[in-house]
């Protein structure tokens, strides 16, 4: 049974930092590209970051580039999202996802096979 479990969310003031973790089990982690998405109330799920199977490939949208950093540790079956200089508009539920898609990069949620339950990030102004 594949499980992705996010942790590290919480309440932080604008300008602060958080580090999210996503622990994977039940799959061969190194075969999956991993991504982070977020969804705010009333909005569509939004791509945040992705890392390739090896960790060499990284992709970010302009909205988080330079502030967020995705990384992975294949020995620990874990992907991370370091979030710095947080803004109130970063408030959302953050989800990690894994996919075996061949094309790189992809920002489309439907390309990912497995999803975590999400962790809430709230940035106060």
Backbone angles phi, psi at 96, to 5 degrees: -100, 155
Greatest alpha-carbon span in the chain: 40
Give the percent of the chain with pLDDT over 70: 100
Q: DSSP secondary-structure letter at 94?
A: E
pLDDT tens for 22-79 read 999 999 999 999 999 999 999 999 999 999 999 999 999 999 999 999 999 999 999 9
CA dihedral 87, 9, 50, 1 (to 10 degrees): -160
């Amino acid at each position: 049974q594949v499980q992705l479990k996010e942790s590290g969310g919480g309440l932080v003031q604008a300008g602060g930092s958080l580090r999210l973790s996503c622990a994977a089990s039940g799959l061969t982690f190194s075969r999956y590209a991993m991504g982070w998405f977020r969804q705010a109330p009333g909005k569509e799920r939004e791509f945040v970051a992705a890392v390739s199977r090896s960790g060499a490939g990284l992709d970010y949208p302009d909205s988080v580039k330079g502030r967020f950093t995705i990384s992975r540790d294949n020995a620990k079956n874990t992907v991370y999202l370091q979030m710095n200089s947080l803004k109130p508009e970063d408030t959302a539920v953050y989800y990690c996802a894994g996919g075996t898609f061949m094309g790189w990069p992809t920002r489309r949620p439907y390309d990912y096979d497995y999803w975590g339950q999400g962790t809430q990030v709230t940035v106060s102004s």
